[in-house]
Structure 1
């Protein structure tokens, strides 16, 4: 039973990631870049590079190419941290804010498509159960 549940969750997760990927491509972003953009946009105060790596659950050296791509696209800029001049802060640009809103809408559409087979009550029940498994309060 647990193995079947794990496979079902894996399959749903794969379908959701594929839906995200299909929608992020036209925005010029990979799913990893979209996740990073979301983390940077949601951060208050601005994140340091190492904090972004922690949020994305990747090693710090792996975050550099992601941030490089976002910076090259004009979505993020690096700023020296006034509290610690050896640290770099990541700040969303106005174009980055616009793209982030597009990413949010793309994510919403992908989730809506995937979960459209469920009633609102079933969606809430699934959210509650997955939150419990995730270790969050429902």
Structure 2
């Protein structure tokens, strides 16, 4: 039974990622860039590069090309940390904030499409069950 549940969850997760990917492409973003954008957008106060790497669960040197690409697109800017001039803080530009709103809408649409077969009560029950499994 547990193996079947795990496989069903894996399949649903895969379908959701495919739905995200199909919607992120027209926004000119890769899934990795979307993850970085989300973490930066939701961070308070602004993150250092090393904190972003920790949040994304990747090694710090892997963050640099992602941030370089987001910066080239005009979505993210690097700022000197006033508390430590050797550190760099990451902040969204106004264009980055607008693109992040598009990302949020794309994510919502993908999730809505995936879960459209469920009633509102079933969605709530699924959320409660998954939260329990996740430990929230």
| Secondary structure in 2 matching 1:99 | helix
- 1:32 Cα shift? 1.0
Describe the superposition over 1:6-44 as per-residue Cα deviations: whole angstroms up to 9, x where unpaired.
111110010000000000000000111111101111111
Count of residues paired in the alignment: 136
Q: TM-score, normalised by structure 1?
A: 0.96
User: Map of 1:1-138 to 2, 5 A cutoff?
Assistant: 1-136=1-136
CA distance in 2, matches of 1:73, 1:104: 18
Structure 1 runs not aligned, ≥5 long: none
- 1:83 Cα shift? 0.4
Aligned Cα root-mean-square deviation (Å): 0.7
Describe the superposition over 1:81-130 as per-residue Cα deviations: whole angstroms up to 9, x where unpaired.
01011111001000000000000000000000000000001101110111
CA distance in 2, matches of 1:53, 1:25: 23
- Is the deviation greater in 71-80 or in 56-65? 56-65
| Secondary structure in 1 matching 2:80 | strand
CA distance in 2, matches of 1:3, 1:63: 34
Deviation above 4 Å: which 4+ runs of structure 1?
none
